Amino acid sequence: MADEKQGSPLTHFDAAGQARMVDVGDKPVTRRVATAEGRITMALETAATIRAGTGRKGDVLGVARIAAIQAAKRTDTLIPLCHQIPISGLEVAWEFVDATCLRCSVTVRTVYATGVEMEALTAVGIGLLTIYDMCKAMDRGMVIDGIRLLHKEGGRSGTWDRA
């Protein structure tokens, strides 16, 4: 495989095909933003419990928000070859898109030499998994899906938006 300097899009591999952490030391420090989303679908009773804040384990959305924030901050310890990134801002939003489907969106910001897409995606995944964990006693049939990047900006590749 070709390495980054030879134009391969797979920058986490060297010329011999070995995994490597990309050297971002020569990249310019710029403002970078990423937004990701995902959904969890559940039984009507589970959704009502979350909305009312009456779950046996407490404020489900509040705990899941903290879990998402913690996950973004620890992405480098969860995803091999990710850089430790100074996060300058992060928002987690919860929205019921219908009676049984809850959407999580996370926006992460940094001023650094590499982007925060993995931090946003990781935060969404862990936030949704936390909801599953807190509600599984009443609904083991919950489904997590649709975790995806919606927007990124900054760096050499500029702005990207999901069509």
17-33 pLDDT per residue, tens: 878 878 787 888 999 99
Q: In the chain, what percentage of residues exceed pLDDT 90? A: 75
**Domains (range + CATH), the chain:** 28-161 (3.30.70.640)
Decide if 161 contacts 151 (C-beta within 8 A): yes
Q: Is residue 112 within 8 Å of 44, Cβ to Cβ? A: no
Contact between 144 and 39 under an 8 Å Cβ cutoff? The reply is yes
Q: What is the pLDDT of residues 5-21, one digit of tens each?
A: 445 566 777 777 878 87
86-122 pLDDT, tens digit per residue, is 999 999 999 999 999 999 999 999 999 999 999 999 9
Note if 133 is an active site residue. yes
CA atoms of 47 and 102, how far apart (whole Å): 8
pTM: predicted TM-score of the whole model, two decimal places: 0.88
Q: How many CB atoms lie within 10 A of CB 24?
A: 16
The mean predicted confidence, pLDDT, of the chain is 91
- Cβ distance 120 to 108 under 8 Å? yes
Closest CA to 137 of 38, 42, 40, 68: 42
Residue of 133, 139, 145, 161 marked active site: 133
Token pair in block for residue 60 = 């489900």
The two structure tokens encoding residue 137:
């006693």
